[in-house]
Amino acid sequence: QRCLSLIKATKFLNAYITVAEETALKQAEESEERYKRGQILGDLDGVPVAIKDNFSTAGIETTCASNMLKGYIPPYNATVVQKLLDQGAVLLGKTNLDEFAMGSGSTDGIFGPVRNPWSYSRQYREKCVQNTQTENEDSNWLITGGSSGGSAAAVSSFTCFTALGSDTGGSTRNPAALCGVVGLKPTYGLISRHGLIPLVNSMDVPGILTRCVDDAAIVLGVLAGHDPKDSTTVQDPFKPFELPSFIDASKLCIGIPKEYHAPGLSSETLALWSKAADLFENAGARVKEVSLPHTQYSIICYHVLCTAEVASNMARFDGLEYGHRSSMDKSTEVMYAATRREGFNDVVRGRILSGNYFLLKQNYENYFIKAQKVRRLIANDFVNVFNGGIDVLLTPTTLRDTIPYVEFIKEDNRTRSAQDDIFTQAANMAGLPAITVPTAVSERGLPIGLQFIGRAFREQQLLTVAKWFE
Ligand code: GLN
């Protein structure tokens, strides 16, 4: 009830698309009954959670923030949603995002942009007044980052204890960093994507947003594991783990990829990054500069692979099977075209067009196949670094702290995504686990996160390091 009333009180953040008030209260009551009987279901019994609106939820509208799926009520739960419910979690509602998770601001969905709760922090407000001499809230409010901005805002504003996001190029870690919460992108294949409406199948993973690293470990323990409904999940059983409260950092070898000194990196974030490296060094860890020479091609390579997979994924939205159907139905062709024009925003349509271009017979070798080869090189860079003895890599998560909405929308979605995913994208190319940890507040009073990238399926080590650092 407290979470639900907080959701109402923070409605202006636009973090939730759907609030499942009735079912949430019923689930909470059932949980309380179980508690009284001493029969709790698991770690998350009674814990209020929020779900990004690109995960299918049985009986609850699932829109992907798109006109195409507005009103769509899935007949089944995504595996991760079912797992949360099986543990007794209370599902509060569905969170806002960029249409079909394409974006890095949570500004491009049909329900409008999400506001970063930190827009209303006292330090930031005072700074705004100092700089502009006005309390003009409308020009000052900040974006959450994205595309899981609704989930990040929901956790950051304390309306839920954990939220699910998705991460294809950074969509969990980017908003987590900009909203001051923990964001975990697990290894590709560790968590089922069944029921997650796909963006780029070869990179999508469910992401976990929490207030602290310990919570992320608990949720990971609930969600991880093989799913016969997702053939990319690995067969090896996953052993949930608790993080030790003491670790000996002197045994660690931390890698600092030199290519991550990217143009546009703010001096504050840079300073924080090297301070973090010092922290490890002072604790006795070895801190080594390493090189990931192909990472620089990751964004351009992502553009080809992402749009190609989008072109094929979006073909299902033909007006017949799912979602919106245009009334302009003189012929099948006309109906297809009108349905997509009315159903998708220009970002989605643009990606479908680019993807089909890259997949044309005469372009396939030159673009799609080449991008796949580059992807392999990017992934091999990581293998080499880890084989050289590095335990985890330490990098920034974003170039800087968050910015006002009015600044953000000055550039188009494609340019923005390219800049915003610069530190997060390569981990998706390589399928590696990565976590962002809130690290400090900037001079403007806004959160900055740092990222750790680990070896495949070594979440326990990654989270242990993250917890030590937290
Ligand atoms: N910003 C990237 C994009 O627009 C990544 C999005 C994501 O991870 N879902 O595609």
pLDDT, residue 434, reads 98
Query: Does the pLDDT of residue 33 top 90, yes or no?
Result: yes
The CATH code of the domain at 2-247+432-469 is 3.90.1300.10
Gap from CA of 393 to ligand 1 centroid (Å): 22
Pocket of ligand 1 contains residue 62 by CB under 6 Å: no
CA 445 to ligand 1 center in whole angstroms: 26
Angle among Cα 389, 392, 394 to the nearest 5 degrees reads: 125
ipTM summary value: 0.97
Residue range 285-320, pLDDT digits in tens: 999 999 999 999 999 999 999 999 999 999 999 888
Give me the mean pLDDT over the 389-396 stretch: 98
Residue type, 193: R
Instruction: Tell me if 93 sits within 8 A of 17, measured CB to CB.
Output: yes
Going by pLDDT thresholds of 50, 70 and 90, the confidence category of residue 226 is very high
Report the SS3 class of residue 202.
Answer: coil
Which distant-in-sequence residues (6+ apart) come within 8 Å of 137 by Cβ?
119
Per annotation, catalytic residue among 166, 171, 298, 354: 171
Of 104, 121, 147, 354, the catalytic one is 147
Residue 120 has pLDDT above 70, yes or no: yes
Cα dist. 157→10, 19, 101, 236, 441 in Å? 8, 15, 21, 36, 16
- Would you state the pLDDT for residue 127? 87
What residue ranges do the domains of the chain occupy?
2-247+432-469
- DSSP codes of every residue in 219-284: HHHHHBS-BTTBTTS-SSPP------S---GGG-EEEEEGGG--TT--HHHHHHHHHHHHHHHHTT
Q: Check residue 131 and give its pLDDT.
A: 78
Distance CA 41, CA 33 (A): 11
Cβ atoms of residues 436 and 176 within 8 Å: yes
Q: How far is the CA of 23 from the centre of ligand 1 (A)?
A: 31
- Tell whether ligand 1 has an atom less than 6 A from the beta carbon of residue 102: yes
- DSSP code of residue 344: S
36 is catalytic: no
**Of the candidates 456, 291, 304, the residue with the CA atom closest to the CA atom of residue 374:** 304
What would the pLDDT profile of 180-195 be if each residue is shown by its tens digit? 999 999 999 999 999 9
Residue 138 has pLDDT above 90, yes or no: no
HSE-up (13 A, CA, CB side) for residue 273: 27
What does the alpha-carbon distance between residue 64 and residue 36 come to, in Å, rounded to a whole number? Answer: 38
248-268 pLDDT, tens per residue? 999 999 999 999 999 999 999
Mean of the pLDDT values across residues 331-343?
94
Question: pLDDT value at position 134?
Answer: 63
Q: What is the pLDDT of residue 322?
A: 79
DSSP code for 304: H
Ligand 1 neighbour 171 (Cβ under 6 A): yes
Query: How many Å is the Cα radius of gyration of the chain?
Result: 21
157 carries an active-site annotation:
no
pLDDT digits (tens, 9 = 90+) for 401-418: 999 999 999 887 667 767
Which of 111, 179, 150 lies closest to 16 in space, CA to CA?
150
- Assess whether the C-beta atom of 170 lies below 6 angstroms from ligand 1: yes
**Mean confidence (pLDDT) of the chain:** 95
* pLDDT at residue 412, rounded to an integer: 78
Q: What are residue 143's DSSP bridge partners? A: 115
Active site residue 52: yes
Q: How confident is the model at residue 419 (pLDDT cuts 50, 70, 90)?
A: confident
Give the distance, in angstroms, between the CA of residue 76 and the centroid of all CA atoms in the same chain: 22
pLDDT tens digits, residue range 90-114? Answer: 999 999 999 999 999 999 999 999 9
CA of 295 to the centre of ligand 1 (A): 17
CA gap 239, 222 in Å, rounded: 10
DSSP letters of 350-363?
A: HHHHHHHHHTSHHH
